[in-house]
Amino acid sequence: MQLVYNRNNEPVKLGDRVKLRDSTWAEVHYFRPPHKPNSEGKVTIKQGGTTREYYVSVINAIWIEREDQ
């Protein structure tokens, strides 16, 4: 299973700078795969000194090659 960006199928990497839906920029700090088939997984982003966790769709990413679906 691999997390990739929707727009170009490039793998999401730790440290990537991403634009959030509210047009602010953040850095990918951590991501974790879905825990059940109907989940999309989560990504932790860092903005300044704050970290927040969102669903991967917030950074326009999806998991491919999933074994659970």
Note if the pTM is more than 0.75: yes
Determine, yes or no, domain membership for 53. Answer: yes
pLDDT digits (tens, 9 = 90+) for 9-61: 999 999 999 988 778 899 999 999 998 988 999 999 999 899 999 999 999 99
What confidence score (pLDDT) does residue 30 get?
96
* Beta strand 25-32 pairing with 42-47: antiparallel
Determine, yes or no, domain membership for 38. Answer: yes
Look up residue 5 and give its two tokens.
């960006």
Residues of the domain holding 32: 2-64
What confidence score (pLDDT) does residue 22 get?
78
Number of domains composing the chain: 1
Determine, yes or no, domain membership for 69. Answer: no
